[in-house]
């Protein structure tokens, strides 16, 4: 995620710091709107958060991970986990904040979830202008129950290294995913042997260099496909020999062809 001027955002709903009570564990519900290219800076709070785009494509950074979200897919972020957001295009997102106590009852690691139509409707109802306390509690009760029933979803994500030489390589590849230089070439650019870089990549990302570069391309591919870019065009831009080679890679990594992957989110 690149550094940019934060250009945000319209919001509506129940802010998490505006309520002492937390009906059914929910302390706040907001709809946020981000301009294309804008960012929400890294921050953390005690409340666990569920974020789900209603419109647009977003990259969410949590610690050393980058996750791609689009309509139909959401991300659970545990309390006290540093996180930020980059809007790939114009984004409208739902955000549910759970009380610290309730958050401790959910996974203490980030988790991708499939967003149901009922979940979407309840989030819309819960943030629709002024609603009385009784109605809000009824909505929050249903919202909490539906959240607990959401099915896991495979999200495209990328682990970013912390070692400074790897960061130089990774920053360049994130800016130009189609870059085809070998690790031997990169070793001459960052002042470390090929063997050292290979060992560090495996240690910090659990992937080899070639696998990590493929994951960068996959991340950008998911962002582009979610915005309607054609597979043929994308395969060429990312350096694949043919659309079928790209589709094979996509299916291997995410368990479905591009078409089926996005259809399953609807």
Domains of the chain, first to last: 10-149 (2.60.120.10), 161-263 (1.10.10.60)
Average pLDDT over residues 52-68: 94
pLDDT at 8: 52
pLDDT confidence tier of residue 19, bands split at 50, 70 and 90: very low
| Positive or negative: CA dihedral 224, 225, 227, 228 | positive
Mean pLDDT for 233-260 is: 90
Residue 3 banded pLDDT, cuts 50, 70, 90? very low
What is the mean predicted confidence (pLDDT) over 80-89?
A: 96
Mean residue pLDDT of the chain comes to 89
Q: What's the rounded mean pLDDT across residues 73-89?
A: 96
Task: Note the pLDDT tens digit of each residue in 174-199.
Answer: 988 888 899 999 999 999 999 999 99
Give residue 240's pLDDT.
Answer: 85
Q: By the 8 A CB rule, do 57 and 10 touch?
A: no
Measured between alpha carbons, how far is 190 from 185 in angstroms, rounded to an integer?
Answer: 9
* For residue 10, pLDDT beyond 80: no
Mean pLDDT for 89-118 is: 96
pTM for the model = 0.86
Phi/psi-derived region of residue 63, left when phi > 0, alpha when psi is between -120 and 50, beta in every other case: left
Ordered alpha helix ranges (H), 107-254: 117-126, 133-149, 164-175, 183-190, 194-205, 209-226, 231-237, 243-254
Tell me what the mean pLDDT of segment 122-148 comes to: 91
Ramachandran bin of 206, using left for φ above 0, alpha for ψ from -120 to 50, beta for the remaining angles = left
The pLDDT > 70 percentage for the chain reads 92
């Amino acid at each position: 995620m690149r550094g940019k001027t934060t250009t945000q955002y319209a919001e509506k709903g129940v802010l998490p710091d505006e309520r002492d009570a937390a009906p059914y564990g929910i302390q706040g519900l907001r709809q946020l709107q981000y301009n294309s290219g804008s960012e929400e800076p890294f921050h953390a709070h005690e409340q666990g958060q569920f974020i789900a785009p209603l419109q647009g494509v977003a990259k969410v950074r949590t610690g050393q991970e980058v996750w791609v979200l689009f309509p139909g897919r959401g991300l659970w972020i545990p309390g006290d986990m540093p996180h930020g957001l980059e809007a790939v295009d114009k984004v409208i997102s739902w955000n549910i904040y759970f009380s610290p106590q309730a958050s401790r009852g959910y996974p203490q690691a980030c988790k991708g979830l499939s967003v149901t139509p009922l979940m979407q409707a309840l989030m819309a109802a819960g943030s629709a202008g002024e609603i009385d306390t009784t109605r809000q509690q009824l909505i929050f009760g249903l919202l909490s129950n539906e959240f607990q029933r959401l099915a896991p979803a495979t999200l495209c994500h990328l682990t970013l290294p912390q070692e400074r030489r790897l960061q130089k390589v990774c920053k360049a590849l994130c800016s130009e995913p189609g870059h085809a230089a070998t690790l031997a070439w990169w070793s001459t650019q960052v002042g470390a042997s090929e063997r050292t870089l290979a060992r560090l990549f495996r240690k910090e990302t659990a992937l080899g260099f070639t696998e990590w570069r493929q994951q960068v391309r996959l991340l950008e591919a998911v962002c582009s496909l979610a915005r309607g870019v054609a597979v043929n065009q994308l395969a060429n831009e990312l350096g694949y020999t043919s659309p079928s080679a790209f589709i094979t890679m996509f299916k291997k990594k995410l368990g479905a062809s591009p078409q089926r992957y996005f259809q399953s989110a609807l």
